[in-house]
């Protein structure tokens, strides 16, 4: 079974079942918002630590992401500064990212929903959407949509 | 890096859906998938039993745990 097939199966089984089957090891305990209702995905993490209120590294990530990866973006402190919006999400989708998990604020929610699930275009992946984390005036998005 | 208390390393498998986000350490992906597929099969069988009227209270031995093995 290829890693791609493994991820497709894990996405189908879902985060709760995978967490339980894995011995209840690692689950993101955060107030996330799923940006695209009904979306699900799984993929190897491409971890990206952004500076405070600075999404430079998010832009850089779009130049290095490999199709099928889930981009994981963090910022030191949650603030109402949109770290990802529709232009970055458009790039993520075009580059074949399977999804995004964003522990920070996002913007352009309606456009993100319109853009739809991410996912490798060449694959059978279901694609994904986003999770956001609401923090005060901002949104922290965990898994972005397309 | 840490996200919501969970460690996520480059290449770990991140599973995202409506419930939230689970993380599988990359070297454990095969093992966790096998366990998840087994769990899915067990749940498929149990779901059919529950749909037919069986109770998890009985199937999982919870009555015994709560009320004692004598059942009294």
A118, A98 contact by CB (below 8 A): yes
Chain B residue numbers touching A117 (CB-CB < 8 A) = none
Record the tokens describing residue A19, joined without a space. Answer: 């967490």
Question: How are the residues of chain A apportioned to helix, strand and coil, as percentages rounded to the nearest 5?
Answer: 30, 30, 40
B51 vs A110: CA distance, rounded Å: 39
The count of domains in chain B is 1
Residue B70: per-residue pLDDT? 59
A146 vs A93: CA distance, rounded Å: 5
A41, A96 contact by CB (below 8 A): no
Give the closest-approach CA distance of A123 to chain B in angstroms.
17
For B3, nearest residue in chain A (alpha carbons): A28
* pLDDT at position B56 over 60: yes
Residue B32 inside a domain? The answer is yes
B54 vs B39: CA distance, rounded Å: 19
Residue B23 inside a domain? The answer is yes
pTM as predicted: 0.85
> In terms of CATH, what superfamily is A3-143?
Ribonuclease E inhibitor RraA/RraA-like (3.50.30.40)
Task: Say which residue, B34 or A29, is predicted with more confidence.
Answer: B34
Residue A138: per-residue pLDDT? 34
* pLDDT at position B72 over 80: no
Q: Do you know the residue count of chain B? A: 72
Among A30, A88, A93, residue whose Cα is nearest residue A67:
A93
Chain A contact present for B55, CB below 8 A: no
Residue B72 inside a domain? The answer is no
Tell me: the pLDDT tens digits for A39-82?
899 999 999 999 998 999 999 999 999 999 999 999 998 788 88
Give the closest-approach CA distance of B24 to chain A in angstroms.
7
Tell me: the pLDDT tens digits for A77-128?
878 888 899 999 999 999 999 999 999 888 888 998 888 888 654 333 333 4
Low-confidence winner among A1-5, A117-121, A132-136, B50-54 (lowest mean pLDDT): A132-136
- ipTM metric: 0.88
H/E stretch holding B58: helix B56-59
Residue A116: per-residue pLDDT? 84
Query: Which one of A7, A14, A29 has the shortest CB-CB distance to B4?
Result: A29
Mutation target for B interface from A20, A48, A101: give the one with most B CBs within 10 A: A101
> What range does the domain containing B63 cover?
2-67
* pLDDT at position A143 over 70: no
Q: What is the CA radius of gyration of chain A?
A: 14
């Amino acid at each position: 079974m290829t890693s791609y097939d493994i991820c497709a199966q894990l996405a189908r089984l879902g985060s709760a079942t995978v967490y339980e089957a894995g011995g209840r090891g690692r689950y993101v305990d955060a107030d996330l918002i799923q940006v695209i209702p009904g979306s699900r995905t799984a993929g190897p993490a491409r971890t990206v630590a952004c500076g405070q209120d600075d999404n430079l590294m998010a832009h850089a990530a779009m130049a290095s992401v490999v199709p099928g990866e889930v981009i994981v973006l963090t910022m030191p402190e949650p603030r109402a500064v949109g770290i990802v919006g529709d232009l970055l999400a458009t790039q993520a989708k075009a580059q074949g990212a399977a999804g995004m998990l964003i522990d920070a604020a996002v913007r352009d929610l309606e456009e993100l929903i319109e853009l739809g699930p991410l996912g490798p275009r060449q694959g059978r992946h279901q694609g994904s959407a986003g999770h956001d984390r609401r923090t005060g005036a901002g949104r922290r998005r965990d898994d972005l949509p397309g | 890096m840490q996200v919501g208390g969970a460690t996520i390393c480059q290449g770990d498998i991140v599973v995202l859906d409506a419930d939230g986000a689970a993380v599988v350490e990359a070297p454990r992906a095969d093992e966790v998938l096998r366990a998840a597929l087994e769990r899915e099969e067990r749940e498929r069988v149990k779901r059919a039993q529950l749909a037919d009227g069986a109770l998890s209270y009985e199937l999982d031995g919870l009555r015994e745990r709560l009320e004692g093995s004598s059942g009294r």
